[in-house]
Amino acid sequence: MKASRLAAVGALTATAVVVLSSPAFAHVSVQPEGVAAKGGYAVIDFKVPNERDDASTTKVEVNFPTDHPLASVMPEPVPGWDVKVTKSKLAKPVEAHGKQITEAVSKVTWTATGAGIKAGFFEKFPLSVGALPEDADQLVFKAIQTYSNKEVVRWIEEQKEGEEEPETPAPVLTLSAASEDGHHGSAAAEDASDDTKSTGAAAETAAPADSSDTTARVLGVVGIVVGALGVAYGVLAGRRRTTA
């Protein structure tokens, strides 16, 4: 009887440990600072959380859509990170500011010069981009996250209508309609697009992961553990009545 009780308690303990030690999944995402309006310029932030408890994020690569190339992409300096902007020839030239553009940014890569993004933290990587397409409702970026232990996570899966969110979804920037007064987006972003030397203010340093997400995960784990202990108590109580 003691052996069976120990086995039951051991199994519940193992279950609790697995739940508690499982990674807190979060996604690489992109959001505008203000408005990302069609046909205009915007400052957008790529938010990169660290999902691992035993490794830091040391490299982030964001690939730009080829169906809607962006002629202007300017990074804001992020302390502790080197940034590289890669351009590629366009299959079809585009018009921007009255000029024909034959190449556009295809990739931006940030590489940590220090510890990178540690466990339990995230980092924002800002970019000034434009001109945003007028014939699209969203832009899909494919991101690749590399950890200090050489693990690579590819955030490249596109959401399909009517289906559940994929395991590693690609960051999606939703575009809003241009305002009636003809204003297309952030004035700061438009000014930055005309400046050939981006000086920019320092970006936010790594910040703790969202407290609301952490609280929800903790409450979920507590609920599972409490429920499992309740089942164990019922089983053990039933065995006592039977043996009595």
Contacts of residue 56, Cβ cutoff 8 Å, sequence gap at least 6: 50, 112, 115, 116, 117, 118, 119, 147, 148
Question: What is the number of H-type helices and E-type strands within the chain?
Answer: 3, 12
22-39 confidence digits (pLDDT tens): 344 579 999 999 999 999
The helix/strand/coil state of 243 is helix
Residue with tokens 């466990």: 119
Does residue 165 register a pLDDT over 90? no
**DSSP E strands: which ranges in 19-167?**
29-32, 42-49, 57-63, 72-75, 81-96, 99-112, 121-130, 138-140, 142-147, 152-155
* Alpha-carbon gap, residue 41 to 239, rounded angstroms: 69
The structure tokens listed for 180 are 């009636």
| pLDDT of 115 | 94
86-132 confidence digits (pLDDT tens): 999 988 887 766 778 888 999 999 999 999 999 999 999 999 999 99
169-188 confidence digits (pLDDT tens): 999 999 999 866 555 555 55
Mean pLDDT for all residues in the chain: 76
